[in-house]
Structure 1
């Protein structure tokens, strides 16, 4: 069947590409970034690039943006900066997800109106929306080239998935120089998120030869590059390779969405506090086994990366994760075998789980 691939994000890649920001962010601009950005000089750099056009700064984004914090920021943004033309997200997945939530305005100005629309699970047209430009400071999220944002509600133990036509970034700036200061733990966690994105796009009902091309290249680069980068964090060549690998993984799953490993990860993050990159990657050897033999075309693609022996393929993934200090059994995270089985069954029924070629809900 004909393969269709769609990604509307204008992408600029390479060292120094942040300098393209003024041309990509027209009019008045709001900056959404993480707390350390100011100490790293990034807020001052954006200010220097945009000058008086930078009119609003949110620089206290926390990991896994929660509705309890987002509510106030969203309503304040629309009350104080409704005339803003562009929003620039600078940071990891949480900063970009936060910006995606902020740019979607409601008729009432209430954030809870947006939550109600998301909870209903039906398509909707937002009352207002802003132009979004995203620059990742970590190599992993892929959010700069996808429309999805995850919004968390820790109190209610829920998550919302936001995705609209307007939550596709208009442009992505992928500048490896922005990633040089990322510490080892975040480098590993975000790199494994990218690996998961690429693998999840292969064992996926929505996969096609075009998404596979991005995914295979990303996987090969990450398996080779991430352990070396872990031991040489200031290496510009390795940072650039990982940035490109994460971008390719993002391009792959921008068309397929994620699958079972991510569906499992949401429960592991909500109930066991695992960082997202670890939560979505520690099950990769297990999920590879569940995917193997389900679909001849998908097997062919997986074998291009791992060869023809499933046990060796799983061992390679497991050893790779162990070399980065990531444990690969549910029991390592306090989850009993019975709880793990129930979690997998539940994840299979979720929207992302149903994308998985081995899903019993498919």
Structure 2
């Protein structure tokens, strides 16, 4: 069979690569989307110095897990006040980049609820207008800078919307490890585990191929070695660079496969139990590894290349890795009973991401 790998994002990686903004935005009007702490960290002023009068609009109140309750006003103000900008620059973690992806998809009316109605159909559509997106992650984990997907939450209604259009692929990704130096330990761990989940999910996936595996296996190896070291030495530039590259490789892997069962479970854990995304999608990894093992010879070979031939040892390695980062690995640890956990797994298997899991066909 022919393996196909496609990623249209112009990716710039390296220490100090944020400087690339100067050449990338020539003769453009730019809107910055970032997180509330960015100004205190000097990041907004730094971008202002790089862009000068090209920077015409700043949105700096992005919250974790972008929710419709806040996004509605942000979206409508953006299109009213900065509708003539060319490019949206997202600087932050997954929430900032996901927010920017929602903002760049313009509706005919400029109303956010029109966008929600289109997303609720679950069908692809071509927006009447859109903006270009440059994504510069400040965390090593999201992968959103090299994927087209964004998740929009509606906590009040216990729903989520998945955004995925041709225009939501970032035009450029700037992966500058220097931006990650100030990330606190808890976020470093959570986002690093999100990257590990992305890489593993792309392996036990019906859409996996030798090209995506190459990125995934390398990312998994790097994260298992690097993340515990980084958690104890947060200012280490070499470790920050290694994690940034590992997260990028994980993002490239799942940009072609999408995620699978662990992520499908995570949505319920975030909506109903309040778990941060990186923890919600990683605490089940030892369990999901066991569910994946034995369903596909090619997938088993890839997993065994990483973990060896003994499933129980492989699960123990993952479990001990998570425990070393103070991440609990049982549903009961999060107030979920065994019955509820099984119901959640069964439900997750039927979700769009769950159906990507190689074990879903046997479920």
TM over 0.5, yes or no? yes
Distance 1:64 1:224 in 2: 28
Correspondence for 1:134: 135
Correspondence for 1:6: 6
Q: CA deviation at 1:154?
A: 0.3
Aligned length: 362
Correspondence for 2:43: 42
Q: Is residue 2:68 matched to residue 1:67?
A: yes
SS of 1:95's equivalent in the other structure is helix
RMSD between aligned residues? 0.8
Correspondence for 1:31: 32
TM-score (norm 2): 0.99
Distance 1:106 1:336 in 2: 43
Q: Is residue 2:313 matched to residue 1:312?
A: yes
Structure 1 residue ranges (4+ consecutive) displaced by more than 6 angstroms after TM superposition: none
Q: Greater shift after overlay, 115-124 or 322-331?
A: 115-124
Q: CA deviation at 1:91?
A: 0.2
Correspondence for 1:273: 274
Q: CA deviation at 1:127?
A: 1.2
Give the conservation status (yes or no) of the 8 Å contact 1:146–1:250.
Answer: yes
Q: CA deviation at 1:55?
A: 0.3
Give the conservation status (yes or no) of the 8 Å contact 1:137–1:179.
Answer: yes
Mapping 1:98-137, distance limit 5 Å: 98-137=99-138
Give the conservation status (yes or no) of the 8 Å contact 1:25–1:133.
Answer: no
Give the conservation status (yes or no) of the 8 Å contact 1:100–1:132.
Answer: yes
Distance 1:360 1:219 in 2: 25
Q: CA deviation at 1:114?
A: 0.5
Superposed CA offset, 1:120-141 (max 9, x none): 0111101110000000000000
Any unmatched runs of 5+ in structure 2?
Answer: none
SS of 2:45's equivalent in the other structure is helix
Superposed CA offset, 1:168-226 (max 9, x none): 00000000000000000000000000000000000000000000000000000000000
Superposed CA offset, 1:38-72 (max 9, x none): 00000000000000010000001000000010000
Give the conservation status (yes or no) of the 8 Å contact 1:201–1:207.
Answer: yes
Distance 2:66 2:221 in 1: 31
The 1:178–1:78 alpha-carbon spacing in structure 2 relative to 1, beyond 3 Å, is same
Q: CA deviation at 1:25?
A: 2.7
Distance 1:23 1:3 in 2: 35
Distance 2:124 2:271 in 1: 25
Mapping 1:198-217, distance limit 5 Å: 198-217=199-218
Correspondence for 2:150: 149
Any unmatched runs of 5+ in structure 1?
Answer: none
Mapping 1:234-249, distance limit 5 Å: 234-249=235-250
Correspondence for 2:194: 193
SS of 1:11's equivalent in the other structure is strand
Superposed CA offset, 1:223-268 (max 9, x none): 0000000000000000000000000000000000000000000000
Distance 2:42 2:29 in 1: 21
